[in-house]
Structure 1
Amino acid sequence: MLPSIIVLPLAILFSYVTYQWFLHPLSKIPGPFWAKFSSLWMAKHSWDGDMHRATIALHQEYGKLVRIGPNEVSVSDPNAIKEMYVGAGTKFRKSDWYSVWQGRRKFDLFAERDEGIHGSQRRLIASAYSMTSLKDLERYVDSGIQCFEQRMNEREGTVIDLGNWVQLYAFDIIGEVTFSKRFGFMDVGADDGSFGQIEGALRSAAWIGQVPWLYWLHDYLSPIIGNHLGITARHGSLRTFAAREVAARKDRGSDHKDILSKLFAVQKGKPDAFDDASLISMATSNIFAGSDTTAISIRAILYHLLKNPECLQKLLEEIDERFAQSRLSHPVSLAEADSMPYLQAVMYEALRLHPAVGMSLPRVAPRGGIDVDGMHLPEGTVVGVNPWVIHRQKEVFGDDVESFRPGRWLRDDKKGDMLRCFAAFGWGARLCTGKNISWMEMSKLIPTLFLLYDIRLADPEATLSETCWWFVIQKGLHAVMRRRRDVHSAV
């Protein structure tokens, strides 16, 4: 007979496997075999960087509900979005996956799981990121675009990594609108290591968020074993960087109406609710998320336009017609860009095909659970919608969901449903705080570039690589830019 020291663990394991496989409330929901028993399936794909494509494939195989963890379900039902994320969605708190992102920070709009705390924090800083504040920030984006133009002129006719350049642009713009100071990345054509730190933090958080207890064990032991997780850069080196820039901005002062000036005003009015740590947290979030998400979106827009010449030609016609009518400034203003229907359709379509976030937005089902696609998911179930999956629902976007077709956004009869499923910036109360700034950066840069330059892919057959570590980062956007017109002599 086997000794009891072996029998007991085997019995426990057998009971666990039996329960998860046959008796668990989610047992009837299909999905990868190993996902029934542990989070290793999600951790592996999060580490490998292919979660966005893997989840699409699962829903194509299994339908609107897929069990991706012992107590987690990926949802692709458009009808569930409102309940999970909008309005009553505030009852669905963020899952423990976000605790890894927050660490010990008290003020963190992205990761805060308590909806009451999140609501009060968001109300504090909302005015700094509102559409009204864009009027104060637009001139700083203009300055960044002019710097970008100078760098492109210096490299005219040569093959450049345009994908890297737009990230240098986005990072410098964040510095300008936040601290009244560009970081100078465009000036030297390279970053200072920040991109690598952010990418390392993203990869680390993506996988270890699937096993958050491991993060907190590491946090507890770090005084003894040291730091071995990239996500700690969000709480450590990047936060230190932001704190240094905040201090420098205080020392030198500024008459710019930048984001910091607005946050300083919040702090002055409510110092107890918004202390220095809270202010630095917001500045860190600007740096961490603001550059990557905008760069990813700009790359997507440029790539799909350059891969679809007929769509690019339509955009060029819209740009040229308005320029000929003296209806475009240099750089193109936000108001002018907002009035360009095809440009806006191009942006929506590119972000539909390539939203920045490629993993599920996990929420915890509240008391009473949730009914989705004829199945009841009980209280405590982690549920989430992956933007890459919901953006490819044929019932909403049409049968050609893998095609780049901006014209679908120009149909009034379909646009409402598409916008309700559009998740490039999230939904509801958790809508990305920096959405307005990011949209302004894109809206102004894209038409300005095509107004000024003829842009071609260095290799028309090349495709971009995609790595999903929360954000789906592309590599390989190599292009050649040649001057199309000199607007200074034309105006």
Structure 2
Amino acid sequence: MLLFIVVAVIVGYITWTYYSWRRLAHIPGPAFCGFTQLRQLYWIAQGQPAAHYAESCARYGKLVRVGPNQLITGDAEQWRKMGSIRSSYTRSNFFEAARFRRGEDSVLSMRDEKAHTDLRAKLGPGYSGKEVPGVEAIIDKSVTEFVELVQQYVSTREVFRPMDLSEKVNFFTLDVISALAFGEPFDNLRDDKDNPGIIGDTQRSITLLAIFHELPYVYLFLEKTGLLERLQAFLGDDFGFNKVFKIADAAVERRFGKAEKSYKLPEDKNDMMGSFIRHGLSRKQIENETVLQVLAGSDTTAGAIRSILVPLMSNAQAQKKLVEEIDRANITGVVVTDAEARNMPYLQACIKEGMRWQPPAPTLLSRKVPPEGDTINGLFVPGGTKIGWSGHAIHHDEDLFGPDADIFRPERWILCEDGGDCDSPSKLTQMNRVSELQFSYGRFRCLGEIVARIEINKILVELFRRFEVNSCNPLKVFEMNFSSDVFVQAGMWVRVTDRRRA
């Protein structure tokens, strides 16, 4: 009997493997990817999946098979189409591994289309700032504290004070999102330390999360059997994501009270949590959304800021042009306004180019092909297939961005008549359409985009308005640099000098 079971399992596995390979055998990809996900998991373990996805697109085309049921696209218009309002593509099981607690969805993990749309509508006013008065003023406070902290690390001819800029940027984005989300900043910038103690631990946990996203059935097994909860309990409140859960729960408890069933409103605060309450979110929903805000709202924005800073620090000409534009703007306030920053064309070009050069979302964000299937780049893709994007391939497309697509060159975003080298308004429009995809598109567009763009505008202007920033080791900008769901970068040591004393 046992022998029969073993043989049946082996035959079943071989049959399933053959079927999985055959249904997508007409789509090119790296060797053995049609049979196993091991190569993809190896890329994640290496810490460079985004680079491998882009390399696969460069070698095999804009539609590539990287797993038995996993494709990636390097086609911007295809990715846009999949996210459009009328698209019948849905979120794949990739997102189920983004659940923070057993059986409880956030706006990131929710796959039910109607429920997802309804939840976005309730969250939108808070994220957009419509119900959070003084969003800019809240961000300005953190910008001011960031500048004051950087000032403490200014080097002179006599004294060298190296500063880990990646750490300070993380402090900044965490302080902003905590202040906006529940009205109380973590005060990382004030104290020059990771007060909640979550940066290092979440960085160490992120690779495991990326593996779960690509093996969601493993995550679901752990979740449904209760093993995930046991593992979290074993690791304790002070490990990795558990710290974030603890912080989020404490913030919600301060608002709702300790009673689990309590739904009183001690005070109707004008922060994001207050907006969520007014729009009818339950206590559990708010706990999950708060965890999402702290994790996704800080890491991705910090990654975007670093993706702009790194090439600027190694390109003296670009940094000089940016500083000259900032000086010409004659900013009179303590902190530049968002409107002023948006009217700086070279700044906006640097932002677009930095995020194009290294897209801050290296993960696949896979969608599910509708049951009737679809024809993509001339190839039929059966229903149920998962398709993710290669952000790097899309934003390094030489057909659109030219043969120097791998080079950081902000001038490509400015028309020739305005001092740049883009010779066609239609091409610039097309490039901008691709740039918009950094924050996803349509039904899946990032709710935090408005806040993130304000943060990026302000911190870049105020940093280069006051300081000259150079890498301590241009040959190794980061001590730690890998990607999984986000870019994990630490040890970005820089030498800062005060421009006003130069």
* TM-score, shorter chain, exceeding 0.5: yes
Secondary structure in structure 2 of the residue aligned to 1:67: strand
Structure 2 residue corresponding to 1:73, chosen from 49, 71, 74? 71
Secondary structure in structure 1 of the residue aligned to 2:403: coil
Secondary structure in structure 1 of the residue aligned to 2:359: coil
Structure 1 residue corresponding to 2:252, chosen from 221, 237, 246? 246
Q: Is the 8 A contact 2:470 2:494 kept in 1?
A: yes
Matched with 2:154 is: 156
* CA separation of 1:151 and 1:65: change in aligned 2, threshold 3 A: same
Quote the Cα distance in structure 1 between the aligned partners of 2:131 and 2:459: 19
* CA separation of 1:485 and 1:253: change in aligned 2, threshold 3 A: farther
Structure 1 residue corresponding to 2:191, chosen from 181, 188, 191? 188
Q: Is the 8 A contact 1:454 1:484 kept in 2?
A: yes
Once the two structures are superposed, residues 115-174 of structure 1 have per-residue CA deviations (whole angstroms, 9 ceiling, x without a partner) of: 111100001121112264576211111111111122122221111101111101111111
Matched with 2:117 is: 119
Quote the Cα distance in structure 2 between the aligned partners of 1:93 and 1:200: 30
Confirm or deny that 1:353 pairs with 2:353.
no
Unaligned 5+ segments in structure 2 are 156-160, 258-264, 416-424
Confirm or deny that 1:386 pairs with 2:390.
yes
User: Counterparts of 1:131-280 in structure 2 under 5 Å?
Assistant: 132=130, 136-157=134-155, 158-191=161-194, 192-222=196-226, 226-227=230-231, 236-249=242-255, 257-266=270-279, 270=280, 274-280=281-287
Structure 1 residue corresponding to 2:467, chosen from 453, 458, 479? 453
- Which 10-residue stretch deviates more, 70-79 or 248-257? 248-257
Q: Is the 8 A contact 2:182 2:273 kept in 1?
A: yes
Matched with 1:59 is: 57
Displacement of 1:181 in angstroms is 1.7
Displacement of 1:286 in angstroms is 1.0
* CA separation of 1:407 and 1:70: change in aligned 2, threshold 3 A: same
Equivalent pairs, count:
472
Q: Is the 8 A contact 1:136 1:258 kept in 2?
A: no
Matched with 1:334 is: 338
Q: Is the 8 A contact 2:107 2:119 kept in 1?
A: yes
Quote the Cα distance in structure 2 between the aligned partners of 1:362 and 1:119: 18
Matched with 1:416 is: 429
Q: Is the 8 A contact 2:48 2:482 kept in 1?
A: yes
Q: Is the 8 A contact 2:147 2:462 kept in 1?
A: no
Matched with 1:489 is: none
Q: Is the 8 A contact 2:173 2:297 kept in 1?
A: yes
Displacement of 1:236 in angstroms is 4.8
Structure 2 residue corresponding to 1:320, chosen from 300, 318, 327? 327
Secondary structure in structure 1 of the residue aligned to 2:41: helix
Quote the Cα distance in structure 2 between the aligned partners of 1:224 and 1:447: 44
Once the two structures are superposed, residues 179-229 of structure 1 have per-residue CA deviations (whole angstroms, 9 ceiling, x without a partner) of: 222212122322132113322442222002222222222224446993069
Quote the Cα distance in structure 2 between the aligned partners of 1:484 and 1:437: 28
Displacement of 1:394 in angstroms is 1.3
* CA separation of 1:317 and 1:212: change in aligned 2, threshold 3 A: same
* CA separation of 1:193 and 1:61: change in aligned 2, threshold 3 A: same
* CA separation of 1:293 and 1:223: change in aligned 2, threshold 3 A: closer
Matched with 2:43 is: 45
Q: TM-score scaled to structure 2, two decimals?
A: 0.87
- Which 10-residue stretch deviates more, 477-486 or 152-161? 477-486
Once the two structures are superposed, residues 450-471 of structure 1 have per-residue CA deviations (whole angstroms, 9 ceiling, x without a partner) of: 1111212112333345311211
Displacement of 1:258 in angstroms is 2.3
Structure 2 residue corresponding to 1:311, chosen from 292, 300, 318? 318
Displacement of 1:313 in angstroms is 0.9
Matched with 1:301 is: 308
Matched with 2:498 is: 483
> Structure 1: which amino acid aligns with 2:178?
G
Confirm or deny that 1:290 pairs with 2:288.
no
- Which 10-residue stretch deviates more, 161-170 or 148-157? 148-157
Secondary structure in structure 1 of the residue aligned to 2:23: coil
- Which 10-residue stretch deviates more, 283-292 or 34-43? 34-43
Once the two structures are superposed, residues 338-387 of structure 1 have per-residue CA deviations (whole angstroms, 9 ceiling, x without a partner) of: 11111111111111112221121211111321111110101111112121
Quote the Cα distance in structure 2 between the aligned partners of 1:417 and 1:246: 43
> Structure 1: which amino acid aligns with 2:406?
E
Unaligned 5+ segments in structure 1 are 487-491
Quote the Cα distance in structure 2 between the aligned partners of 1:11 and 1:153: 67
Displacement of 1:474 in angstroms is 2.2
> Structure 1: which amino acid aligns with 2:251?
E
> Structure 2: which amino acid aligns with 1:95?
S
Quote the Cα distance in structure 2 between the aligned partners of 1:52 and 1:204: 16
Secondary structure in structure 1 of the residue aligned to 2:405: coil
> Structure 2: which amino acid aligns with 1:96?
N
> Structure 2: which amino acid aligns with 1:181?
E
Quote the Cα distance in structure 2 between the aligned partners of 1:291 and 1:56: 25
* CA separation of 1:159 and 1:282: change in aligned 2, threshold 3 A: same
Displacement of 1:5 in angstroms is 7.0
Once the two structures are superposed, residues 98-121 of structure 1 have per-residue CA deviations (whole angstroms, 9 ceiling, x without a partner) of: 111125354411111111111000
Matched with 2:477 is: 463
> Structure 2: which amino acid aligns with 1:452?
R
Identity over the aligned pairs, expressed in percent? Answer: 25
Once the two structures are superposed, residues 424-443 of structure 1 have per-residue CA deviations (whole angstroms, 9 ceiling, x without a partner) of: 21111111111111111111
Secondary structure in structure 1 of the residue aligned to 2:432: helix
Quote the Cα distance in structure 2 between the aligned partners of 1:223 and 1:376: 39
Matched with 2:420 is: none
Q: Is the 8 A contact 1:37 1:70 kept in 2?
A: yes
Quote the Cα distance in structure 2 between the aligned partners of 1:88 and 1:234: 38
> Structure 1: which amino acid aligns with 2:119?
Q
Confirm or deny that 1:472 pairs with 2:487.
yes
Quote the Cα distance in structure 2 between the aligned partners of 1:221 and 1:262: 35
Matched with 1:82 is: 80
- For the aligned residue pairs, the C-alpha RMSD in angstroms reads 2.7
Quote the Cα distance in structure 2 between the aligned partners of 1:371 and 1:118: 27
Quote the Cα distance in structure 2 between the aligned partners of 1:110 and 1:485: 44
Once the two structures are superposed, residues 379-402 of structure 1 have per-residue CA deviations (whole angstroms, 9 ceiling, x without a partner) of: 111112121221111122222111
